[in-house]
């Protein structure tokens, strides 16, 4: 947190200096234009050339100050964004607020673990991790959290995240650039729609006329300047009208190219700055170098091509200005030439555009995971194996307060499946979620909330939290059966890490107990690794039939000074103590 506090002080001072200079330039710019107008007035009044010369110099000064003002405006916006980034990190680490988007739009109730493990939504894993600001960044991070990667890719991600972890200044600059882009799903969809639309070339006649007609117009103009024949002005008028007719014939085509493209030029310009930020950085890890090398096309950098595309969209937008459109197109068919360039750009680089934008998303997702590692120096990268061995030392849930969270050692070898018992509130569900969330993090190359870990990344299958689906006319019990069927079908394809919490709650005790035992037997027969939490002691006896596969572990509760005491420590064996009767008596229920 100290580094963030230092940066808040540093960037607050820098912002003050920029604001002071920004205001000075604003006043100077205003004075320069007033001076220009004042000098022009005296030139008209006195006809002295000196006033005209100084008026011209004042106007040049105004243009120069405009450029400085524009640069300072960008710097101010960038520094403000970086300052906000550090303030957000401080508020997050102090647990005052979660100022990050929660990704609720990516939630999938039918996903094997997204809903059960609180991957998306308020106070979710995504919201805690998310340090993205573009739509493609959010989408990439969400996608990564929904799937387990191959071992080789996990190791590459670990190396890349570990490198980015130390590049805090670069990460924050990158996030600030992404933040000020004001990117959104609609903007992203507009760009992808334009990029994916069929690229019909202009007719050869139209291309020929786009060259011939402006040439005729300026030919007549030059001839008039040399000869002063008024007949040439008539010819120029005819050509001017003909140019507008040609533009009218292609107006729908131009409009279709820029449909839904509001502010797209500005967003693509920000994409070019983000890509340039990647291109100019020196990386050591294989993953980051490989991504960087994908940003070269036709011996030029992707940022150059994106900047060109941004400028083309900006020029094309002039068609919406009536006066500018009439003048520019009547003289030299400006928008038609821009259209030709836009179509040529699409022909050359359309296959690359989505890839370049996706690389921005990859870096944003990796930056988010690097930020998790930076904020939690006690978290570790798990060792990766292919031997179906999974073990953690001091495992805890990464979203719990580090001051109060309790870590537990757990391993799934030689026994591969745990039957977990414990009274209500003893920590069973939190432990299962800790296992699931850390398996997800470890399976994408992130650090995990443990002091040591060794995992075989496996698909994660969970049945912990289901709800009645009224819209589907589906009861809680039927929803649970469907989830168990989903888990069994997935296990038919390959082994997985399975977490079950009090399954079959919608039926009677005997049916629930017998069904739970049969589910456990079938799951271990399919080589699943994982744990099931239950209150049925008889389920624990199943370990007697499968001592090499099943093991009993528990969370205990103690009564100290007439109060329940939970230590949240995992123990071997079956839970002995109960809390429900005591708690109801204490609260006067019974």
Q: State how far the Cα of 381 lies from the Cα of 453, in Å rounded to an integer.
A: 7
Give tens-digit pLDDT for 503-551: 887 677 788 889 999 999 999 999 999 999 998 889 999 999 999 999 9
Give tens-digit pLDDT for 269-294: 999 999 999 999 999 999 999 999 99
Determine the pLDDT at residue 469.
44
Give tens-digit pLDDT for 474-514: 567 788 888 999 999 999 999 999 999 988 876 777 888 89
- The residues near 441 (Cβ < 8 Å, ≥ 6 apart) are 398, 447, 448, 449
Grade residue 320 by pLDDT with cuts at 50, 70 and 90: confident
Give tens-digit pLDDT for 35-94: 888 888 877 778 888 878 888 888 888 889 899 998 999 999 999 999 999 999 999 999
Determine how β-strand 391-395 pairs with β-strand 452-455.
antiparallel
Q: State how far the Cα of 371 lies from the Cα of 161, in Å rounded to an integer.
A: 9
Grade residue 140 by pLDDT with cuts at 50, 70 and 90: very high
Contact 148, 460 (CB under 8 A): yes
Closest CA to 528 of 503, 554, 550, 502: 550
Token pair for 103 = 């990704």
């Amino acid at each position: 947190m100290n580094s963030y506090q230092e940066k808040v002080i540093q960037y607050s001072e820098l912002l003050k200096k920029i604001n002071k200079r920004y205001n000075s330039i604003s006043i100077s710019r205003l004075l320069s234009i007033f001076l220009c107008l004042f000098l022009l007035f005296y030139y008209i009044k006195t006809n002295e050339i000196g006033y005209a010369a100084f008026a011209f110099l004042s106007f040049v000064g105004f243009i120069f100050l405009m450029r400085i003002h524009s640069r300072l405006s960008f710097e101010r916006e960038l520094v403000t964004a970086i300052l906000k980034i550090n303030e957000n990190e401080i508020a997050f680490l102090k647990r005052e607020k979660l100022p990050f988007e929660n990704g609720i739009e990516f939630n999938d109730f039918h996903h094997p673990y997204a809903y059960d493990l609180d991957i998306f939504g308020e106070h979710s894993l995504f919201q805690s991790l998310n340090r993205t600001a573009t739509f493609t960044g959010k989408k990439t991070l969400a996608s990564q959290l929904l799937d387990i990667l191959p071992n080789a890719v996990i190791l590459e991600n670990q190396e890349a995240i570990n490198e980015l972890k130390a590049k805090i200044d670069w990460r924050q600059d990158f996030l600030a650039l992404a933040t000020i882009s004001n990117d959104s799903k609609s903007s992203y969809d507009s760009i992808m729609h334009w990029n994916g639309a069929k690229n019909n070339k202009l007719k050869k006649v139209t291309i020929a006329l786009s060259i011939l007609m402006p040439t005729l117009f300026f030919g007549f103009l030059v001839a008039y300047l040399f000869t002063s024949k008024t007949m040439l002005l008539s010819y120029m008028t005819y050509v001017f009208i003909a140019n507008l007719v040609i533009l009218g014939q292609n107006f729908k085509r131009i409009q279709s190219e820029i449909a839904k493209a509001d502010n797209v030029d500005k967003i693509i310009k920000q994409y070019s700055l983000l890509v340039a930020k990647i291109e100019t950085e020196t990386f050591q890890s294989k993953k980051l170098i490989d991504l960087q090398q994908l940003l070269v096309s036709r011996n030029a950098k992707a940022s150059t091509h994106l900047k060109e595309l941004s400028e083309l969209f900006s020029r094309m937008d002039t068609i919406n200005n009536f006066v500018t459109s009439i003048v520019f197109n009547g003289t030299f068919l400006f928008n038609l030439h821009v259209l030709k360039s836009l179509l040529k750009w699409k022909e050359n680089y359309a296959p690359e555009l989505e890839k370049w934008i996706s690389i921005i998303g990859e870096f944003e997702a990796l930056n988010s995971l690097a930020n998790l590692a930076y904020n939690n120096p006690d978290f570790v990268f798990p060792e990766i194996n292919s031997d179906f061995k999974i073990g953690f030392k001091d495992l805890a849930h990464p979203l719990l307060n580090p001051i109060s969270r309790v870590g537990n050692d757990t391993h799934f070898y030689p026994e591969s499946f745990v039957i977990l018992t414990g009274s209500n509130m003893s920590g069973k569900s939190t432990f299962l979620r800790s296992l699931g969330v850390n398996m997800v993090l470890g399976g994408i190359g992130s650090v995990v909330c443990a002091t040591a870990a060794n995992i075989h990344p496996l698909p994660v299958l969970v049945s912990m939290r289901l709800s009645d689906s009224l819209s589907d006319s589906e009861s809680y019990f039927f929803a649970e059966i469907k989830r168990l069927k989903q888990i069994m079908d997935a296990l038919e394809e390959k082994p997985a890490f399975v977490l079950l919490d009090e399954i079959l709650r919608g039926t009677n005790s005997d049916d629930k107990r017998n069904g739970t035992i049969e589910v456990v037997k079938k799951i271990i027969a399919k080589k699943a690794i994982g744990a099931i939490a239950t209150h049925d002691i008889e389920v624990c006896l199943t370990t007697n039939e499968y001592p090499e596969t099943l093991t009993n572990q528990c969370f205990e509760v103690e009564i100290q000074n007439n109060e329940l005491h939970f230590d949240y420590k995992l123990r071997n064996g079956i839970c002995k103590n109960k809390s429900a009767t005591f708690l109801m008596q204490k609260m006067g229920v019974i």
